[in-house]
Structure 1
């Protein structure tokens, strides 16, 4: 093993033993990582990225997962070279958190909810550095300050649920770096974060890496993040390494067809697009007037209302017939609440909702049912929204049964037609949701939404959980269905690049209020609101040669300026 190498993986092979037989999750993977370098491993779900990382950490689920071959040579701080795949568990316990550390995708499942964040950071310091509790607590405060958490001497006593998603991810980074590890494995550390928070976390990781000198193994399917973070890239597919190159070569001249498809599927906001031709304004299909959805905050023995969470606050908006209106904003901005209240899945606190010229704000359930046929929703997580005990055919046919449309034979024919419409086989009607991939499940959700030939669909983050190529397929399918069936879509997403690709107009929400509404072309090229400008500047560009100037975001100053302007 060469002196400049920190990690050298040779022919790693991992199998999973299941009831259906042996699954080869990783097949002869080889790569190396130099000291202080960032290597990205990219690929779609099921490619073996995370399994490879867990193998190095000795965290594979046992007894199902078994390492059946290969070496993972790691140069320890002492200079000793250790094969991580054959190290004893006691040795791995001394290495994990000390010389190697890992940041997981979802911090809330990685942080213990019954311990303060300070105690959890201090735990690794006490265990690996032999410090006392008092000194470890002080070092934990210093780590929170290092990852730029405000008031670290106070937040050190917070529990994970008292922090936002971005703050929890900063805590995870603080824990991982608390013992100055030589190797940091970051497994999709920004996938669940909003674009501004993601940009802040990536900048923080680059800054800390430069200061501490840690090598980073960055696992992701986001090629924009790869372009921004990586020195070299390994591309995986079905457990195999299909390509490896430095980041500039890979993005400029990818050799393998799979890599080319991945790059081609990424929407780009940095490329010039011609302005759409001017058209007459179509009639309004949906209109919101001063819509409010406030959730009461209760306290005390008598549960008195002491305030409100203003999820949607005085929103007026029009959706034109046949258009795709993108609705963007960070988590907590009120996007989903607005979409669901528009369909009366959440009852509004105030304001008025009009659909096709008729007010539906206070329609009773029986009268509203007729409108349900004309308004549908596609949910974010297709696995959670599909009943696992029903066949796909029954799931798609359920709206037809509820609304008493057609005979059993006609419903069966309609299900077959819908499956073909979303590019699945009619034979799939007999299967269950767990037998399908994430992208296929989302197609099933779309088929169910189309069952009653609706005029209007709310698509709520319907591609956010999908891999880049599957996401591109679903977007292409929605475009085709819109053109063929004349659908009107409210497309809710925090992925601004995807929104530009599909939307005619874009509405931007911040803390329950609309801050900007304009054509997609104009809003991406001439944004007026400071929040919109910050959102757009934070989008990672899938090109390592493009360096965009990021607009600093100060939510307190922005909110104060809006209140003053109001």
Structure 2
């Protein structure tokens, strides 16, 4: 092992025993990480990225998994290289959290909900550094301050559920770095975060990496993040390394077809696109006027209403026939609530919803039911929205039965076959159950179900956010093709601004329940007017390591005060 290397993985193979036989999740994998270097491991779901990180930490669950062969040489703080595969569990416990630390993908499941965040950091410090409780608490508060958590003395006593997703991720980083590890493994640490929070977390990791002199193994499927963070890149597919090289080399001249396809699948917002010609404005299909949705907060002995969460406040917009209107904003901005209010899946508190000239805001259910044929939704999580006990054929035939549009079983089967072909799936798949499909295929089934009754308007709620980049590109191409051939009108809800630009005609930006900007996509992305829109766009990572974006400073408290003053 070379003197300047922190980690060297040689011919690592990991397999899992399943009901269908033995599966090799990682096969003959080799790579290394130098001191002070960030190595990104990229690939789609099932490529073996996370299994690799768990194997390095010796956290592969056994059974059903086991490390079959290979070596993982690691040089810790003592400077002596050791093969982690050959260490006892007691020896590994001394290394985990001290020499090698890990930031997991979902902080809420990684933090213990019954202990304060401060206590959890203190536990790691005392376990590995042997400090007194008072010394460990002082160091924990120092780490919270280092990861820029405001008022760290007070937040030390908070429980995980009292913090936002971005704050919880900062706590995970503070805990991981509290013992100044030689190697930090970051497994999709920003996947669930909004773009502004993601940018802040990435800046924080880079800053702490230089201050603490830690090497980083960064696992992600987001190539924009890779371009921004990595020195070198390892590309994996089906458990095998397909390509390795410097980050500029990989992005500028990828050698393997799989890498080329991954990079080509990523939409970019920095590519100047010409302004589209202004077509004749088609008639308005859907209009919402001063839409409001407040959720009551109840408490006390009698469970009385003690306040309200104003999820949507006075939102007004029009959607024209044949148009895709993108609706963007951070988590909690009210995007999904607007979509569900439009479809009357939840009842609005105030305002009007006008569909094709008819006010449907207060339509009784028996009058609203026939309209369901014309108003449909594609849900974010296709697995949760498909009944696991029904075959795909039955799922797609169900709306035909409910609305009695196809009288005979033969007619319904014919329509199911048409729908599957429409979303580029084999009609023979109608006999399968949802769990027998991949994530991308399940999303296609969700789209097919939404199309079953030939709707005029569809709410697509984060319908590609959980998909890998190449599958996402396929689904977006499918939506574009269906819009063109069927003349669909869509409200496309997403927090991924690059995806929204690639598919939308106009874009609406929401912030904490309010509509702050609305314009055609070209204007929003090339000449944004609102400060929040500017901050959002400047935070989007670009999948090109030669492009360095200038972040727009963002002060949410000052912006909120200005919004409150304006509305008052």
TM-score by length of 1: 0.99
CA displacement 1:348-381 (0-9 Å, x = unmatched): 0011100000000011111001110000000001
Tell me the CA shift for residue 115 of structure 1.
Answer: 0.3
Matched, 1:489 2:490: yes
Residue equivalent to 2:526: 525
Structure 2 distance, partners of 1:78, 1:530, is 49
Structure 2 distance, partners of 1:139, 1:76, is 22
Structure 1 distance, partners of 2:383, 2:92, is 36
Tell me the CA shift for residue 231 of structure 1.
Answer: 0.2
Tell me the CA shift for residue 409 of structure 1.
Answer: 1.2
Tell me the CA shift for residue 62 of structure 1.
Answer: 1.4
CA RMSD of the aligned region, Å? 0.6
SS at match of 2:33: strand
Matched, 1:358 2:358: yes
Residue equivalent to 1:514: 515
Tell me the CA shift for residue 299 of structure 1.
Answer: 2.0
**How many residue pairs align between the two structures?**
566
Tell me the CA shift for residue 536 of structure 1.
Answer: 0.2
SS at match of 1:45: coil
Residue equivalent to 2:310: 310
SS at match of 1:415: helix
Tell me the CA shift for residue 511 of structure 1.
Answer: 0.4
Residue equivalent to 1:547: 548
Residue equivalent to 2:132: 132
CA displacement 1:388-435 (0-9 Å, x = unmatched): 111111111111111112121111110011000000000110001111
Residue equivalent to 1:13: 13
After superposition, residues 11-90 of structure 1 pair within 5 angstroms as: 11-90=11-90
SS at match of 1:79: coil
Residue equivalent to 2:332: 332
The runs of 5 or more residues in structure 2 that have no matched partner are none
CA displacement 1:229-285 (0-9 Å, x = unmatched): 000000000111000010010111111110000000000111111111111111111
Tell me the CA shift for residue 563 of structure 1.
Answer: 2.1
SS at match of 2:217: strand
SS at match of 1:382: coil
Structure 2 distance, partners of 1:519, 1:66, is 53
After superposition, residues 324-403 of structure 1 pair within 5 angstroms as: 324-403=324-403
Residue equivalent to 2:248: 248
Structure 2 distance, partners of 1:455, 1:405, is 16
Matched, 1:463 2:467: no
After superposition, residues 140-159 of structure 1 pair within 5 angstroms as: 140-159=140-159
SS at match of 1:409: helix
The runs of 5 or more residues in structure 1 that have no matched partner are none
Tell me the CA shift for residue 40 of structure 1.
Answer: 0.1
Tell me the CA shift for residue 453 of structure 1.
Answer: 0.4
Tell me the CA shift for residue 178 of structure 1.
Answer: 0.5
Structure 1 distance, partners of 2:553, 2:74, is 39
Structure 1 distance, partners of 2:143, 2:497, is 32
Structure 2 distance, partners of 1:35, 1:126, is 26
Matched, 1:503 2:509: no
SS at match of 2:453: coil
Structure 2 distance, partners of 1:560, 1:182, is 43
Structure 1 distance, partners of 2:85, 2:108, is 28
SS at match of 1:385: coil
Structure 2 distance, partners of 1:164, 1:210, is 26
Stretches of 4+ aligned residues off by more than 3 angstroms:
none
Residue equivalent to 2:535: 534
Matched, 1:278 2:278: yes
Structure 1 distance, partners of 2:450, 2:320, is 20
Structure 1 distance, partners of 2:528, 2:171, is 33
Structure 1 distance, partners of 2:429, 2:101, is 43
SS at match of 1:51: helix
SS at match of 2:201: helix
Tell me the CA shift for residue 565 of structure 1.
Answer: 2.7
Structure 2 distance, partners of 1:57, 1:105, is 15
SS at match of 2:553: coil
CA displacement 1:448-493 (0-9 Å, x = unmatched): 0000000000000000000000000000000000000000000000
Matched, 1:417 2:422: no
Structure 2 distance, partners of 1:240, 1:37, is 22
Structure 1 distance, partners of 2:311, 2:563, is 17
Residue equivalent to 1:450: 451
Tell me the CA shift for residue 138 of structure 1.
Answer: 1.4
Structure 1 distance, partners of 2:389, 2:84, is 42
Tell me the CA shift for residue 305 of structure 1.
Answer: 1.4
SS at match of 1:363: coil
Tell me the CA shift for residue 82 of structure 1.
Answer: 1.1
CA displacement 1:181-222 (0-9 Å, x = unmatched): 000000000000000000000000000001000000000000
Tell me the CA shift for residue 558 of structure 1.
Answer: 0.4
Tell me the CA shift for residue 494 of structure 1.
Answer: 0.1
Tell me the CA shift for residue 302 of structure 1.
Answer: 1.3
CA displacement 1:292-340 (0-9 Å, x = unmatched): 0000111211122121100011111111110000000000000000000
CA displacement 1:100-129 (0-9 Å, x = unmatched): 000000000100000000000011001000
Tell me the CA shift for residue 564 of structure 1.
Answer: 2.3
Which stretch shows the higher mean deviation, 553-562 or 171-180?
553-562
Residue equivalent to 1:475: 476
SS at match of 1:368: helix
Structure 2 distance, partners of 1:5, 1:522, is 48
Structure 1 distance, partners of 2:222, 2:275, is 28
Structure 2 distance, partners of 1:216, 1:401, is 55
Residue equivalent to 2:177: 177
Structure 1 distance, partners of 2:39, 2:112, is 29
Structure 1 distance, partners of 2:246, 2:415, is 50
